[in-house]
Amino acid sequence: MPRDIPLNSLGIPKAPADTRVIVAMSGGVDSSVVAAMLAEEGYDVVGVTLQLYDHGAALAKKGACCAGVDIHDARRVAEEMGFPHYVLDYENLFRDAVIDEFADSYLAGATPVPCIRCNERVKFRDLLETARDLDADCMATGHYIQRKPGPAGPELHCATDASRDQSYFLFSTTPEQLEFLRFPLGHLPSKDATRALAARYGLSVADKPDSQDICFVPNGDYAAVIEKLRPGAAEPGDIVDADGNVLGRHEGVIRYTIGQRRGLGLGGLAEPLYVVGLDADGHRVIVGPKEMLATRRVPVREINWLGDAPLDSRPEWHVSVKVRSTRPPREAIIRPAGPDTAEVELLSPEEGVSPGQACVFYETGGSRVLGGGWIWKG
């Protein structure tokens, strides 16, 4: 009778040398450390970098992932650690799945999060399928999030280092994808620990700065990108109060987001005003006092639910939620309206809740990610 083969460090019953791992390499320090770590452990590592947008334009820009210089950095790490590396041209896929929706969402008055769509539609769908085609046993990334075994299968949990946690951007990871994915950095105590590993492996990217921008938005100028993609998008219009009184003019709804205070050009007012609504069809920016930003009820759709029982198996779920990536979780109640839609009631009001952002669900008092969905206007 054959002896049971012990699980390796990736939870697979094979020797590392017999375990093929596709590592999604952006050229940054995080994914480079993952690749180097697994190569050192003896895994059959194959590095893959995605070319997501115009290579020539990207070469001139630093600080964004998957640009020309980053492809070069990923290739150099593969050479240093002695494993194969491939560059896949996903430019058309990326434009169709991420960039076009980003532009159209802004034009509709929403505030999209393209990094979530990229993970959902490009990295964890198309690249993951490519990894399967390459006979990989799993795919590893440099995301700061944890995958833990649970009674109903693998669970998604926040990273140990709360300041690096990327769970907000990965809520749409499905249970099927979670079976195949691995996140070797999620348990590390800090980014310093990652850089220390990079230095130990002698990686050329050990001191490379973190990416700050959305990769296809140079210098954070969303409006310029959208105007290029959708000529005529920055149509001027009125800035109005909640009663429709005209207070000023603007240079395009795409230049404003819910909760914005600066840059309105409304001087001499008795109290500061904030953007409280965007009327894309009427080309109006609606402003009001800060208290108008407070929201308790948030309609959510396209929910990816990661709980053990179906979302609509209960009338309500008591959870914690994030409505922005930079905010701490707040207590809330989810009231399902179907298998993938719900109304979320925030127990304490949040300011600046915006259509197009994600609402991500967490186990109250724990680290488990229960999924999430997209905020809409209702």
Backbone angles phi, psi at 130, to 5 degrees: -60, -40
Taking residue 61's Cβ as centre, other Cβ atoms within 10 Å add up to 17
| DSSP-assigned letter for residue 272 | -
Coil, strand or helix at 291: helix
Of residues 319, 315, 317, the one with CA closest to residue 330: 319
Residue with tokens 């970098």: 49
147 neighbors 184 (Cβ within 8 angstroms): no
CA distance 197 to 185: 11
End-to-end CA distance of the chain: 60
CA distance 258 to 295: 12
The residues near 211 (Cβ < 8 Å, ≥ 6 apart) are 26, 28, 63, 64, 65
Catalytic positions, written as ranges: 118, 215
Of residues 173, 84, 169, 183, the one with CA closest to residue 140: 183
User: Residue 327 is encoded by which pair of tokens?
Assistant: 């905010």
Residue type, 125: R
CA distance 214 to 88: 20
CA 23 and chain centroid, separation? 18
Residue with tokens 């960039």: 99
Query: What is the DSSP annotation of 322-340?
Result: ESSTTS--EEEEEEESSSS
Taking residue 186's Cβ as centre, other Cβ atoms within 10 Å add up to 24
- List strands edge to edge, sheet with 246-250: 246-250, 237-240, 284-288, 274-279
Backbone angles phi, psi at 47, to 5 degrees: -85, 135
User: Residue 135 is encoded by which pair of tokens?
Assistant: 């006979």
